[in-house]
Amino acid sequence: MLDLRSHVSRIVSSANQLALSPGDFHSPRAADTMAASWRRCMEGYRFDPAAKFRIEAVSDAELKLQREAHDELIQFARPEIDAMFGAVSLSGFSISLGSLDGYIITERANYNPEFYSEVERAGTAWAEQSAGTNAIGTCLIERKPVGVFTNDHFFYEFSALSCASAPLFSPDAELVGAINISIRNPELQRETLKVVLGLTTGLADRIGERMFRQAFRRNYILKFAIGPVDHGLIAVDEDFQLVGLNHAARELLRDRLQLARVRSLWAVFERDHRLIDLARLAGAELTLHLQKGGDALSVTLSAPLEGPATASRHAGASADAAPQSPPRARPAAPTPAAPPRLTARGLSLDDCAGADPRMATNVRFVRRVLGGSLPILLLGETGVGKDAFARAVHEESPRRGGPFVAFNCASVPDTLIDSELFGYGSGAFTGARREGSPGRLVEADGGTLFLDEIGDMPISQQTRLLHVLESGEVMPLGSGRPRRIDVQVVAATNQDLESRIGQGLFRQDLFYRLAGAVIDIPPLRERADRRELIEAVLARLAEGKRLEIAPDAMALLMQHDWPGNVRELRHVLNRALHICEGNVVTARDIALRTGGRMPGSQASFGRPPFAPAPAACMAGTGAALGGPLDSGTAVGDTGAEVEAGSARHAIASAERDAITATLARCGGNVKAAAAALQLSRATLYRKLQRYQIVH
């Protein structure tokens, strides 16, 4: 282990020597991985390697939310983590699972304080932007296994640790997190860490395989070795049409898939008639050799775990989808590309889930609580489908025969919320209806009450609502008689409730009461099934008319970052279908709002150098500037006018302005700005990326 002075000078000189063009913070060569990360730390995040560092950690409540959001990933990872921990239980050895944001969400460790440090506990923030060079954070950025030996950590505080992390990919080949092994042992050799890195990569491979086999449980699966611990997995239907490829298989077969624009397994391997017969007969698993470009590859074929899927020629690995478009994570769907079912009642829970793994987890989770009295809290940006989800919950719950009552806490004036929500007796106040009003809570008795924009509810009504939820009784104003009610409460917000609690604007006890089951609905830009969702929304809008999306239009739609989410997508497609010629929507018909995420972006809002590719794109004509969200108002889903400059936009806009101003005041120093804004550094980095603020 180096002393502090040598540590700092090694980092600074290596980062400076790294021959990269300005702004290129990603190194193509493995040997440069550390130096590239150090350089990101100094130039991108403006960290000082000599500075004292304290790891950030989320609160227990936030950790609980994180765990709920990653419920499925934890379920798949935990048995493998436990098995590995049981096999290699050494002092100073811990295994942890990091979320995509770099938080440790579960861990196994020897908690002997001699070897265990608080920095390894669940809830700590290891995103590189938060903790500097480290195995979890750097692996998540590099999307490859990364070992970080003692002083390779950017901050000196971590130099007693050596860590190895490997990325975890979903069945759709999306990065979903990282698995990490840490060792706190001064005797550890750099060479030994390489072995540990192999163990970690094998662990990630096995967790990925569990997820893949579950997702494609109705398909035949071919498995073949790619490296000493890596495996390619390919799911096919009974006609040997490709249904899914894991990340390793996609990487290996990338050229072939791209060139051939394949759907069939026989474009990857040479046709083998034995395989067809064997697959039909296969009761379990068999190993055979398949020819691939002159080489014989040993492949294990396993039969479906559940009843075989019907032929699915529309599978994700279709001609124009492979390999960028992930295969479907829900192989059970008989016609995977079919649009969601449109009923008079709207979307079902399966429709809301589409083929997105995070949404599938959400739906599985919410189904477990339906029928009980646990309140459900829906979180997500504007337009992601919280309202649609709430209605689908009602339709699937045992209360579906009862009323569904929606109450928007932001659209009713504060002074009327009391009477509207809790009701009032006859003659309770001047202007009241003579016969009184039962109020929305009582109206929802026996059914579901959807409290939209709960984050905007004034604090005094929050107190009353909390009382109702705790007692199960409503006391209408001036009636003197409480009324018992039996209601499934579903609340929703796009606000950061934790920070509202911090500002004293939201009651913490109400939050805990509402957060019985927390469902985090991902924004459209993060959904793995974007392509299918785009097609489904168009099909739904086209009402039976057959319409196609030309590849150039699809490319625009896939690149856009959708600040208004599915609602914005609907507006864009609705406009396109009315102006397109014939049955094909082309790029000329697509008008996308350009610039920052919220209206009124300033020129200074760009993309941090390490952020994903810019999402803004513009159709060939100047019409792009006249996109629906620019027009000031937009026609809402129910036909009502929705203000584009609504309270939500104003809040986001104010937040973005406050961040920009604070950063400027702090000379671009993120740490100082985070302290001034009373945000954790990780949260501020997330917001910088969200608002695309260059600092």
Ligand X SMILES: Nc1ncnc2c1ncn2[C@@H]1O[C@H](COP(=O)(O)OP(=O)(O)OP(=O)(O)O)[C@@H](O)[C@H]1O
Closest separation between CB of residue 311 and ligand X, Å? 25
Nearest CB to ligand X, comparing residues 358 and 681: 358
Closest separation between CB of residue 529 and ligand X, Å? 9
What is the DSSP secondary structure assignment for residue 42, as one 8-state letter?
A: I
Closest separation between CB of residue 333 and ligand X, Å? 14
Instruction: Name the residue among 523, 522, 510 with its Cα closest to residue 615.
Output: 523
Instruction: Name the residue among 279, 281, 285 with its Cα closest to residue 266.
Output: 279
Instruction: Name the residue among 116, 117, 156, 115 with its Cα closest to residue 133.
Output: 156
Q: Can you spell out the DSSP letters for 292-313?
A: ETTEEEEEEEE--SSSPPPP-T
Nearest CB to ligand X, comparing residues 163 and 518: 518
Nearest CB to ligand X, comparing residues 498 and 637: 637
Nearest CB to ligand X, comparing residues 205 and 568: 568
Closest separation between CB of residue 317 and ligand X, Å? 22
Closest separation between CB of residue 497 and ligand X, Å? 14
Nearest CB to ligand X, comparing residues 323 and 340: 340
Closest separation between CB of residue 598 and ligand X, Å? 14
Closest separation between CB of residue 428 and ligand X, Å? 31
Distance, first Cα to last Cα, the chain: 34
Instruction: Name the residue among 263, 269, 278, 270 with its Cα closest to residue 336.
Output: 263
Q: Are 135 and 128 in contact (CB under 8 A)?
A: no
Of all residues in the shown chain, the one whose CB is closest to ligand X is 385
Nearest CB to ligand X, comparing residues 142 and 387: 387
Question: Buried b vs exposed e over 15-40: b needs ≥16 C-beta within 10 Å?
Answer: beebebeeeebebeeeebbbbbbbbb
Nearest CB to ligand X, comparing residues 352 and 580: 352
Closest separation between CB of residue 578 and ligand X, Å? 17
Provide the angle, in degrees to the nearest 10, between the axes of the packed helices 551-559 and 565-579: 160
Phi-psi region of 383 (alpha: psi -120 to 50; beta: other; left: phi over 0): left
Sole residue written with tokens 């979320």: 99
By three-state DSSP, how is residue 511 classified? helix
Nearest CB to ligand X, comparing residues 486 and 643: 643
Task: Determine the longest span between alpha carbons in the chain, in angstroms.
Answer: 89
Nearest CB to ligand X, comparing residues 230 and 456: 456
Compute φ and ψ for 113, nearest 5 degrees. -60, -20
Closest separation between CB of residue 135 and ligand X, Å? 36
Nearest CB to ligand X, comparing residues 352 and 590: 352
Nearest CB to ligand X, comparing residues 410 and 675: 410
Sole residue written with tokens 């999402």: 615
Nearest CB to ligand X, comparing residues 102 and 354: 354
List residues binding ligand X (CB under 6 A).
Answer: 340, 347, 351-352, 354, 380, 382-388, 452, 494, 533, 536-537, 566-567, 570, 637
Nearest CB to ligand X, comparing residues 279 and 539: 539
Closest separation between CB of residue 642 and ligand X, Å? 8
For residue 618, give Cα distances in angstroms to 116, 144, 198, 340, 606.
52, 33, 45, 28, 16
Cα 177 to Cα 273: distance, rounded to the nearest angstrom: 39
Closest separation between CB of residue 321 and ligand X, Å? 19
Sole residue written with tokens 């719950």: 397
Closest separation between CB of residue 421 and ligand X, Å? 18
Instruction: Name the residue among 253, 203, 210, 265 with its Cα closest to residue 230.
Output: 203
Instruction: Name the residue among 558, 608, 693, 529 with its Cα closest to residue 141.
Output: 608
DSSP-based helix, strand, coil % in the chain, nearest 5: 40, 15, 40
Radius of gyration of the chain (CA): 27
Reduced 3-state DSSP string for 628-680 = HHHCCEEECCCCCEEECCCHHHHHHHHHHHHHHHHHHHCCCCHHHHHHHHCCC
Closest separation between CB of residue 649 and ligand X, Å? 10
What is the DSSP secondary structure assignment for residue 421, as one 8-state letter?
A: I
Query: In degrees, to the nearest 5, what angle opens at C-alpha 255 toward C-alphas 291 and 27?
Result: 125
State which H helix or E strand residue 359 sits in: helix 357-369
Q: Are 651 and 659 in contact (CB under 8 A)?
A: no
Q: Are 421 and 453 in contact (CB under 8 A)?
A: no
Nearest CB to ligand X, comparing residues 377 and 670: 377
Nearest CB to ligand X, comparing residues 142 and 452: 452
Closest separation between CB of residue 335 and ligand X, Å? 16
Cα 682 to Cα 674: distance, rounded to the nearest angstrom: 9
Cα 252 to Cα 271: distance, rounded to the nearest angstrom: 19
Cα 384 to Cα 380: distance, rounded to the nearest angstrom: 6
Closest separation between CB of residue 89 and ligand X, Å? 45
Closest separation between CB of residue 370 and ligand X, Å? 18
Nearest CB to ligand X, comparing residues 494 and 660: 494
Cα 563 to Cα 406: distance, rounded to the nearest angstrom: 24
